[in-house]
Amino acid sequence: GYNFPRVLTLDVKDCIWVEVDNPLLKPLAVPTFWVPNVILSSDYLITVAPLKVFQGRGSLSLMNLLTLLPSSKYGGEAKRGWGDLYELGIDRVVADLYFTLPFDLGIIEARQKFITQDDPTRGEIEECGKVFIGEPFQVDCEASETLGLKTGYLDLIRTAKAAFEANLYT
């Protein structure tokens, strides 16, 4: 296992959940998210994701943020579960998460690429031989461009960033 004295890894299922406001004046899909309280007190947040392509779309470091959301509210235990988030438009939800949970570092472990159409537990593996590291939005952009992946939430983030920054300076 890992032995890093200043690094804490945890299971978010053991955390207290707090509601966090989306900082966008006009959220794309979700005005607030329930997230683990430890996120708010962490010094440095890193998202690490394997390279996955699901139904022709990239699932990268920012898509990995969905795993922080409580399954009791958004997952299988909830009334409609993840279906509610997908009905809102999962790209919009991921873009909102990007602004609500500002992670410092994104890592896409792309030595291999997992490709699937319908079942996320079964698919094909292709050798890719890459690792992408940097700010999560930038890392997802670089991986998408380098590997020719469709990643819809990146365009939404670009647009929302421009609007957000325009409101900061007006």
Task: Summarize pLDDT for 84-103 with one digit per residue, the tens.
Answer: 888 899 999 999 999 999 89
Q: How buried is residue 6: exposed, middle or buried, by Cβ count under 10 Å (0-12/13-18/19+)?
A: exposed
Q: What pLDDT is stored for residue 2 in this prediction?
A: 63
Is the pTM for the entire model greater than 0.85?
Answer: yes
Q: What pLDDT is stored for residue 77 in this prediction?
A: 54
Q: What pLDDT is stored for residue 3 in this prediction?
A: 72
For residue 51, the surrounding DSSP H or E stretch is: strand 46-54
Q: Are 50 and 118 in contact (CB under 8 A)?
A: no
Q: What is the residue whose two structure tokens read 């490709």?
A: 115
Q: What pLDDT is stored for residue 4 in this prediction?
A: 72
Q: What pLDDT is stored for residue 111 in this prediction?
A: 96
Separation between Cα atoms, residue 124 and residue 52, nearest integer Å: 10
Q: What pLDDT is stored for residue 48 in this prediction?
A: 95
In the predicted model, residues of the chain with pLDDT beneath 50 are 78, 170
Q: Which two tokens stand for residue 79?
A: 């009334």
Q: What is the residue whose two structure tokens read 């609007």?
A: 163
Q: Where are the domains of the chain?
A: 14-168
Q: How buried is residue 17: exposed, middle or buried, by Cβ count under 10 Å (0-12/13-18/19+)?
A: middle
Q: What pLDDT is stored for residue 143 in this prediction?
A: 97
Separation between Cα atoms, residue 116 and residue 55, nearest integer Å: 6
Q: What pLDDT is stored for residue 91 in this prediction?
A: 96
